[in-house]
Structure 1
Amino acid sequence: MKPLADRFDHIVLTVADIDATVQFYARVLGFEKEEFPGSDGKPRYALRFGNSKINLQTLATDTANKAQVPTLGSADFCMVASAPLDQIVAHLRAEQVAIIGPVGRRGAMGQMSSVYFRDPDRNLVEVSEYL
């Protein structure tokens, strides 16, 4: 069977503090905050980058469509770099973000070089450049 989907649109992160998360991702990766109405009419927030976004929720966010057991620090995800990885590493170091890497990895489209770091909720964030 041919796959019935071809890419991710967004992921959802459960975070302790939406403002702290927005500030971190804006400072460290240049992501932009987006506000949108939730299904209950209350404001929801996301981080926008490229053609993707990360929707943010807290443990207290009340929505019908939620993970079975939303947990802080349980995410591990990879994003493809929009700048050379050496520039990203230099920026992360300048922002005093502890990193692991660069290390060689295999992504969905082949060999890549990746750098890892943790966000305020201890999620593992990977930024990669295809070789």
Structure 2
Amino acid sequence: MIDHLDHLVLTTARREACIDFYTRVLGMRLETFVGGTPPVERQAFIFGRQKINLHVQGAEFEPKAHLPVPGSLDLCFIASIPLQAVIARLADCGWPVIEGPVLRTGATGKIRSVYVRDPDHNLIELSEPA
């Protein structure tokens, strides 16, 4: 019945720091769009054929999760560059790796990963196929 994930929603308490992390550190593109009922201006991080819609805590768009809380996500991304290049980019950006590289099991097989935390303390796993 389900084919793929279209988007997910990230709730942040630190909008500017969140935008900095996902754009400058992870290289996603920030997009502004109009959506919802009534239509309002919104923002999303675009990468590949997916996006992460951004909600600011206390100013979320309806409908929303029952308990939208910053720091409750655990996300894994497959990088478009080798993991060593990911680690170098993180270092260049002054972003600490909290674990890894380690071997894990992803959706389609073994992956090699490093872990970081975003400004809201969500756990972000950055990976390459092993």
Helix, strand or coil for the counterpart of 1:27? helix
Match of 1:89 in 2: 87
1:103 and 2:105 correspond = no
Match of 1:18 in 2: 15
CA apart distance, 1:6: 1.8
Match of 2:32 in 1: 35
Whole-angstrom CA distance in 1 between matches of 2:113 and 2:27: 18
CA apart distance, 1:36: 1.0
Name the Cα RMSD after superposition. Answer: 1.1
Equivalent residue runs for 1:48-87 within 5 Å: 48-87=46-85
Runs of 4+ more than 4 Å apart: none
CA apart distance, 1:16: 1.1
Closer, same or farther in 2 for the Cα pair 1:50/1:78, shift >3 Å?
same
Q: Once the two structures are aligned, what percentage of the paired residues are identical? A: 45
CA apart distance, 1:120: 0.5
TM-score normalised by L of structure 1? 0.92
Whole-angstrom CA distance in 2 between matches of 1:90 and 1:7: 30
CA apart distance, 1:63: 2.7
Structure 2, unpaired ranges of 5+: none
Structure 1, unpaired ranges of 5+: none
Whole-angstrom CA distance in 2 between matches of 1:53 and 1:22: 13
CA apart distance, 1:9: 1.1
TM-score normalised by L of structure 2? 0.93
Matched pairs, number: 128
Whole-angstrom CA distance in 2 between matches of 1:62 and 1:114: 31
Whole-angstrom CA distance in 2 between matches of 1:62 and 1:84: 35
